[in-house]
Amino acid sequence: MSEPARDAQAARLAELLSQSALRNQRAFSELYAVTAPKLFGVALRILRRQDWAEEVLQECYISIWNHAGEYVAARSAPLTWMTSIVRNRCLDWLRRPQQEATGDEYEIALDAWRDESPGPVERLAAAGDAAALARCLGMLEGRQRQSIMLAFFHGLSHSEIASHMKEPLGTVKTWVRRGLERLKGCLQQAESS
């Protein structure tokens, strides 16, 4: 998406959110139509189970409907605000101890991950969306980047990443921490130049 188109979409979403805050259901249904595929993808990748993702998505939109008025105060891009709601709800869901056991579906998800491994970063760069983030991710050491992607994109915990990559937990924690530090440094540099 080009930059002007992106700004126009953000403005439209912000408008739909403030209409939703006024209990305009038509605006809310448009908001859903535009954003649900994006957010369902986010939820499904983290939860890796269709039924959980559906339940979480539904709860998130109820929450968005009820809190749309608070969006203005959040001072971030509309989709960022909505994405954070979904991600946090998913992570809280996974925190429930009985939900942590994942069987075959988990492995299937990881296999799929192997195929698309360069995908998200390339898509970022290609779309021109957050090109700086794509470039900075590209500059990370391979395993740092992979651990960050597994954690963020697929919702894996430190120990899940460690067992997936067959590396000690402490090593993985260090990769994640250093990767995040470098990412921040790189992004701040990109901003100031």
Partner 1 sequence: MKYDDPQLRDKLAAEYVLGTLRGQARARFQSLMRYDGALRSVVKDWESRLAPLARAGTDIAPPERVWQALSERLAGEPRRPRWWESLALWRGLAATGAAFALVLAIVTGVSPEAEPPMAMIAVMNDTQGRPAMTVSWPSMQAVRDRPFLRIRVIQEHPVMAPGTEWELWMLPSGEGSPVSLGLITTDVDQVMELKPELAARIDGARGIAMTVEPKGGSPTGKPTGPMVMKGPCVKL
Through-space distance between the first and last CA atoms of the chain, rounded to whole angstroms: 23
Cα angle 181-183-188, degrees, rounded to a multiple of 5: 100
Distance CA 163, CA 153 (A): 17
* Residue 9 binds partner 1 (CB under 8 A): no
CB nearer partner 1, residue 87 or residue 143 = 87
Q: DSSP of 131-192, one letter per residue?
A: HHHHHHHHTS-HHHHHHHHHHHHH---HHHHHHHHT--HHHHHHHHHHHHHHHHHHHHHHHH
- For tokens 């700086």, the residue is 132
Distance CA 10, CA 3 (A): 11
The piece of 10-18, 41-49, 103-111, 138-146 that touches partner 1 (CB under 8 A) is 41-49
- The nearest distance, CB 71 to partner 1, in angstroms, is 13
Q: Is 54 exposed, middle or buried (0-12, 13-18, 19+ CB in 10 A)?
A: middle
* Residue 152 binds partner 1 (CB under 8 A): yes
- The nearest distance, CB 143 to partner 1, in angstroms, is 15
Check residue 76 and report its DSSP letter.
Answer: S
The piece of 8-16, 102-110, 127-135, 138-146 that touches partner 1 (CB under 8 A) is 127-135
- The nearest distance, CB 72 to partner 1, in angstroms, is 14
Give the one residue of 16, 28, 31, 49 binding partner 1; rule: CB under 8 A.
28
* Residue 117 binds partner 1 (CB under 8 A): no
Give the binding site for partner 1 (CB under 8 A): 23, 25, 28-29, 32, 36-38, 40-42, 44-46, 53-55, 57-59, 61-62, 65, 74-77, 79-80, 83-84, 87, 91-92, 94-96, 98, 119-121, 123-124, 127, 129-130, 133, 137, 148-149, 151-153, 155, 157-158, 176-177, 180, 183-184, 187
